[in-house]
């Protein structure tokens, strides 16, 4: 199964560029401008959105559950896609 992400702001190797990105299975297959879609390919229009590599959060502070005034993973990362956060570094509290 392939997925084509069109019109994204891609952050890669220290630069930002507007381009398309094809994913084939679990791997990036191609990055470029105006990549033509294949038949039966899933297409995602990312116009105006950022496409970032996986990130590691080195400042997570886990606290007691059900305490709305304290930090927790859903509070700290509510704006991130679940796919975006690749790993965490648990800080002592």
Look at the pTM and tell me if it is higher than 0.75. Answer: no
Q: Where are the beta strands (DSSP E) in 1-93?
A: 2-12, 15-24, 27-32, 42-45, 50-51, 55-60, 85-90
Q: What pLDDT is stored for residue 60 in this prediction?
A: 60
pLDDT tens digits, one per residue of 23-66: 999 899 999 999 999 999 999 999 989 888 776 666 665 565 55
CB 71 within 8 A of CB 88: no
Range(s) of the chain covered by CATH 2.30.40.10: 2-51
Tens of pLDDT along 59-85? 665 565 556 565 555 544 444 444 445
Fold of 2-51: Urease, subunit C; domain 1 (2.30.40)
């Amino acid at each position: 199964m392939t997925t084509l992400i069109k019109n994204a702001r891609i952050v890669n190797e220290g630069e930002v560029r507007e381009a398309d990105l094809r994913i084939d299975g679990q791997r990036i297959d191609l990055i470029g401008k105006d990549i033509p879609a294949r038949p039966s390919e899933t297409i995602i229009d990312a116009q105006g959105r950022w496409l970032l590599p996986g990130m590691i959060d080195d400042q997570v502070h886990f606290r007691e559950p059900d305490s709305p005034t304290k930090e927790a993973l859903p509070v700290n990362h509510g704006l991130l896609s679940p796919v975006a956060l690749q790993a965490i570094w648990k800080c002592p509290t």
